[in-house]
Amino acid sequence: MSPPLPRLPRPRRRAAGAAAAAALLGVAWPSFADASATYSFSAAGQDATDLQDAFEVLPGDNQTGWLGADSDVSVVIGGGPGGGPRRVLWLFADTFLARHDAKTRARVWDGMHMPGSTVALAACGADTCSGRPTFFWREDAKGDPAPFFELPEAQRENGELLWVVAGIASRDGSSVMLLAQRVQRPLTVLGSTAIVIHNLDKVDDPRQWQYTMSELGEEEMTWFSGVTFAEETGDQVLLFGHEHTGGPHSFGSRGRKDPEHWSRTLLARASLSDLLRHDWSAAEYWVEPGRWAPVWPVHGRQRAQRLDVPTWETTCTWSSELGLWYVFNVEGHAIAMWTAQQVVGPWSRSEVYRLPPAFRKTTSDNGAWLCYAAKAHPEMQRKASEARAFHGAADEALLFQ
Express each pLDDT in 386-397 by its tens digit: 665 555 554 433
pLDDT in tens, 117-163: 999 999 887 777 878 899 999 999 999 999 999 999 999 999 999 99
> What pLDDT was estimated at residue 259?
43
211-238: b or e for each residue (b if 16 or more CB lie within 10 Å)? eebeebbebebbbbbbbbbbeeeebebb
Contact between 116 and 86 (Cβ < 8 Å): no
Residue 261's region, left for phi above 0, alpha for psi from -120 to 50, else beta, is alpha
pLDDT of the residue at 369: 72
Rounded distance, CA 151 to CA 314, Å? Answer: 23
Side-chain half-sphere exposure of 261, counting CA atoms within 13 A: 11
DSSP 92-120: ESSEEEEEEETTTTEEEEEEEE--S-EEE
Give the model's pLDDT for residue 198: 97
**b/e 78-110 (16+ beta carbons within 10 angstroms → b):** bbbeeeeebbbbbbbbbbbbbbbeeeeeebeee
Position 367 scores a pLDDT of 55
pTM of the predicted model as reported, rounded to 2 decimal places: 0.85
**Confidence class of residue 258 from pLDDT cuts 50, 70 and 90?**
very low
Percent of the chain at pLDDT above 90? 36
pLDDT at 332 over 70: yes
199-219 average pLDDT score: 90
Helices of type H across 166-321: 272-275
Query: Considering only 96-100, 229-233, 235-239, 294-298, which range has the smallest mean pLDDT?
Result: 294-298
Tens of pLDDT along 65-109? Answer: 898 888 889 999 998 765 668 899 999 999 989 888 888 888 888
Torsions phi, psi for 299 (to 5 deg): -65, -15
The residue among 47, 57, 207, 45 whose CA lies nearest residue 131 is 57
- Work out the average pLDDT over 167-176: 95
345, burial (CB in 10 Å: exposed 0-12, middle 13-18, buried 19+): middle
pLDDT at 340: 93
Confidence of residue 299 (pLDDT cuts 50, 70, 90): low
More confident residue, 224 or 169: 169
Taking the C-alpha atoms of residue 2 and residue 5, their distance in angstroms, rounded to an integer, is 9
Residue 282 has pLDDT above 90, yes or no: yes
Beta bridge partners of 222: 242
